[in-house]
């Protein structure tokens, strides 16, 4: 059979996701498996959200509200912005796809860092447009070089901050230097999936910038710090005109009932998110202290994961950790060989991970 698959689809690489826990259990015949590969929240989810989910089982037969009205109402009040500046989707993954559908024609260009969240590239390719990948500088986004890459064909500029998988941020000052050089008709997407974890005072206030730059779109998600990865809820904030077009394209019922109801309660539960922030910061310092003790280089992180250099081939380290029940993201899958990305886990998991990492390197390096 000769299927007439679009060339753009044939050109897409296969996404290799972190191995699921059950698969590792089966493959290595072990009972206890910890996943520190996808930046999920080790503290789980707000109890308020959990209680609410149980109450909703009797509403599953109904379609959800296609406008996510309650969420938009709640967030607009919280941030002091118009409801019409907010759009929602099944995770920011879905929103990245929709943004590409709204803006990218064949042969348009979309600029991103060479090592960043992979969905900007795949969705660009899917539209027949061209991803322009700009190398990192000092393991972070090279904003100057990204701006220099803008041409008449550039429609989208993807700025992931903190950048996944490297974890660091670009500062307000870095951004201010380049913003005035970006043409008005180039859309700047600020993907802030990890913004809740940032404690640096130099982090740009993108909501404030939005007032001066109507060509900016912010993306946030409830998958990471809010601990709702499985429910699929992401949102964006942008100029009302952009939001209007996005809403024409996105699936009418992209966001399910559970996700919508959970999102409203989640963003109001300040106590949970504060606990998460404090815990993450404390454990981030624990891990970097350990890496220092082991003499391992790491990239300064403002997120809930850290890139650490394993001083040699990362594959045997990945294998060793898997065999011992720890799933991490190996650098060879991220175009950063000799590094691994580890999500911050519970206290016990972080302690055990460090011990295993130490032993893994020792085993790899013994003659
Ligand atoms: C995890 C992640 C997303 C996608 O999250 P969703 O679960 O689809 O909301 C988007 N951007 C970055 C940088 C991420 O790391």
Q: How far apart are CA 98 and CA 354, in angstroms?
A: 40
Q: Compute the distance from residue 223 Cα to the ligand 1 centre, in Å.
A: 7
Q: Distance of CA 177 to CAs 4, 10, 174, 192, Å?
A: 47, 39, 6, 20
Q: How far apart are CA 291 and CA 295, in angstroms?
A: 6
The b-or-e profile of 144-155 (16+ CB within 10 A means b, else e) is: eebbebbeeebb
- Counted residue by residue, the chain has a size of 367
User: According to the model, what pLDDT value does residue 367 have?
Assistant: 66
| Atom of ligand 1 at shortest range from CA of 116 | 13
* Residue whose CB lies within 8 A of the most ligand 1 atoms, among 98, 223, 303, for a mutation test: 223
Q: How far apart are CA 136 and CA 131, in angstroms?
A: 15
Is the minimum distance from the CB of 93 to ligand 1 under 6 angstroms? Answer: yes
| Atom of ligand 1 at shortest range from CA of 221 | 9
- Let me know: does 216 contact 238? Beta carbons within 8 Å: yes
**pTM recorded for the entire structure:** 0.96
Pairing between β-strand 216-221 and β-strand 234-238 as defined by DSSP bridges: antiparallel
* Residue whose CB lies within 8 A of the most ligand 1 atoms, among 15, 35, 117, 306, for a mutation test: 117
Q: Compute the distance from residue 234 Cα to the ligand 1 centre, in Å.
A: 8
Is the minimum distance from the CB of 229 to ligand 1 under 6 angstroms? Answer: yes
User: If you ran DSSP here, which 8-state letter would residue 71 be given?
Assistant: H
* Residue whose CB lies within 8 A of the most ligand 1 atoms, among 193, 231, 303, 307, for a mutation test: 193
Q: Compute the distance from residue 7 Cα to the ligand 1 centre, in Å.
A: 26
User: According to the model, what pLDDT value does residue 73 have?
Assistant: 98
Return per-residue pLDDT of the chain as tens, 367 residues: 789 999 999 999 887 777 889 999 999 999 999 999 999 999 999 999 999 998 898 998 999 999 999 999 999 999 999 999 999 999 999 999 999 999 999 999 999 999 999 999 999 999 999 999 999 999 999 999 999 999 999 999 999 999 999 999 999 999 999 999 999 999 999 999 999 999 999 999 999 999 999 999 999 999 999 999 999 999 999 999 999 999 999 999 999 999 999 999 999 999 999 999 999 999 999 999 999 999 999 999 999 999 999 999 999 999 999 999 999 999 999 999 999 999 999 999 999 999 999 999 999 999 6
| Atom of ligand 1 at shortest range from CA of 232 | 7
- Let me know: does 158 contact 191? Beta carbons within 8 Å: yes
Q: How crowded is residue 246: how many other Cβ atoms within 10 Å of its Cβ?
A: 21
Instruction: Name the residue at shortest CA distance from atom 1 of ligand 1.
Output: 193
Q: Compute the distance from residue 367 Cα to the ligand 1 centre, in Å.
A: 41
Q: How far apart are CA 43 and CA 216, in angstroms?
A: 32
| Atom of ligand 1 at shortest range from CA of 222 | 9
């Amino acid at each position: 059979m000769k299927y007439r698959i679009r060339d753009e689809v044939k050109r897409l690489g296969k996404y290799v996701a972190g191995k699921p826990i059950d698969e590792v259990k089966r493959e290595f015949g072990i009972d206890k498996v910890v996943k520190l590969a996808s930046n999920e929240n080790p503290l789980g989810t707000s109890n308020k959200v959990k209680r609410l989910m149980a109450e909703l089982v009797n509403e599953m037969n109904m379609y959800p509200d296609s406008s996510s009205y309650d969420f938009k109402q709640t967030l607009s009040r919280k941030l002091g912005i118009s409801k019409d500046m907010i759009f929602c989707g099944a995770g920011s993954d879905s929103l990245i796809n929709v943004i590409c559908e709204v803006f990218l024609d064949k042969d348009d260009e979309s600029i991103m860092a060479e090592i960043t969240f992979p969905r900007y590239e795949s969705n660009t390719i899917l539209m027949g447009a061209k991803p322009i990948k700009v190398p990192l500088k000092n393991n972070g986004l090279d904003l100057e070089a990204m701006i220099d890459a803008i041409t008449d064909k550039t429609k989208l500029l993807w700025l992931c901050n903190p950048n996944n998988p490297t974890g660091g941020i670009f500062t307000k000052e870095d951004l201010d230097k380049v913003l005035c050089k970006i043409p008005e008709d180039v859309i700047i997407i600020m993907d802030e999936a990890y913004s809740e974890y940032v404690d640096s005072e130099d982090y740009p206030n993108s909501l404030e910038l939005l007032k001066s730059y109507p060509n900016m779109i912010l993306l946030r998600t409830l998958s990471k710090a809010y601990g709702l990865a499985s429910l699929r809820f992401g949102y964006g904030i942008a100029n009302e005109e952009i939001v209007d077009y996005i809403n024409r394209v996105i699936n009418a019922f992209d966001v399910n009932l559970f996700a919508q109801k959970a999102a409203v309660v989640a963003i109001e539960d300040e106590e949970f998110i504060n606990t998460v922030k404090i815990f993450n910061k404390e454990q981030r310092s624990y891990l970097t202290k350990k890496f220092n003790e082991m003499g391992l280089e790491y990239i300064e992180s403002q997120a809930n994961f850290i890139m650490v250099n394993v001083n040699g081939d990362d594959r045997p380290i990945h294998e060793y950790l898997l065999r011992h029940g720890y799933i991490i993201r190996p650098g060879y899958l991220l175009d950063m060989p000799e590094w691994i990305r580890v999500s911050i886990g519970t206290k016990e998991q972080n302690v055990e991970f460090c011990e295993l990492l130490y032993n893994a390197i020792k085993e790899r390096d013994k003659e």
